[in-house]
Amino acid sequence: MDKEQCIKDYNKKIKRIIISEEEIKEAIKQAGEKISASYDGRPILLVSILKGSFVFLADICRAISVPCEIGFMCAKSYYEGTVSSGIVRITMDLDRDISKYHVIIIEDIVDTGRTLNDIVKLLKSRNPLSLKVVTLLDKPDRRLVDFKADMALFTIPDFFVIGYGLDCAENYRNLPYIAEYDTEVD
């Protein structure tokens, strides 16, 4: 679909809000408190997996009350429409040695689990002091590899979702809530 058609259909594709701004805010506050309590006094590196996690990262880092550093990696999962093709490529890597950090990967959603499975293997091979995964959303029904996040703020059914950093063809990342994307409407 071309860009102009996408903009025309923008609102009718937002089927319904499934997680509100308030619910996201509250869950992040609690996650931030837990992380701050368990990592206090240790060097933390939050690794945001772009692009989808940029909004979550911005909010969760401000809910953490102990010192932490931030790093970015870009992983691209190739989609055919709203279905994962299973191909994951690291297109931008971290800019530092992680062996002196307790690494916390910050992800938007675990779907098939392939992206994080690959990223965790890669980062573990670089010998961080420890490595945990925090995801905003988890879609366990869609899992194709054996992967479990250490912390998932919300578990959702098998919907294609948009908003709060998550996109469909690069649109909708700026919605302040998580919504179901309507794959039926044309």
Stretch that binds ligand IMP, among 8-16, 64-72, 112-120, 126-134 (CB under 6 A): 112-120
- Least Cβ distance, residue 130 to ligand IMP (angstroms): 22
111 binds ligand IMP (CB under 6 A): yes
Determine which residue in the list 19, 73, 103, 109 makes contact with ligand IMP, applying CB under 6 A: 109
Give the burial string for 30-68 (b: 16+ CB within 10 Å, else e). Answer: ebbeebeeebeeeebbbbbbbbbbbbbbebbbebbeeeb
40 part of the active site: no
- Kindly tell me which of 51 and 102 has the beta carbon lying closer to ligand IMP: 51
Determine which residue in the list 17, 23, 50, 77 makes contact with ligand IMP, applying CB under 6 A: 77
- Least Cβ distance, residue 114 to ligand IMP (angstroms): 4
- Kindly tell me which of 36 and 171 has the beta carbon lying closer to ligand IMP: 171
DSSP readout, 55-113?
Answer: HHHHHHHHH--S--EEEEEEEEEEEETTEEEEEEEEEE--SS--TTSEEEEEEEEESSS
Bridge-based pairing of strands 161-162 and 178-181 is antiparallel
Catalytic residue among 111, 150, 167, 182: 111
Residue 29 contacts by C-beta under 8 Å, 6 or more apart in sequence? 63
DSSP state of 163: B
Q: Which of residues 150-169 bind ligand IMP (CB under 6 A)?
A: 160-161, 166
- Least Cβ distance, residue 172 to ligand IMP (angstroms): 9
- Kindly tell me which of 24 and 107 has the beta carbon lying closer to ligand IMP: 107
- Least Cβ distance, residue 39 to ligand IMP (angstroms): 23
Rounded to the nearest angstrom, the gap between the alpha carbon of residue 41 and the centroid of all alpha carbons in its chain is 26
Q: Which of residues 2-61 bind ligand IMP (CB under 6 A)?
A: 52
Peptide bond into 29 cis (omega under 30): no
Rounded to the nearest angstrom, the gap between the alpha carbon of residue 158 and the centroid of all alpha carbons in its chain is 16
Place of tokens 């009718």: 12
Report the interface residues with ligand IMP, using CB under 6 A: 52, 77, 84, 107-115, 160-161, 166
Q: Which residues are catalytic?
A: 111
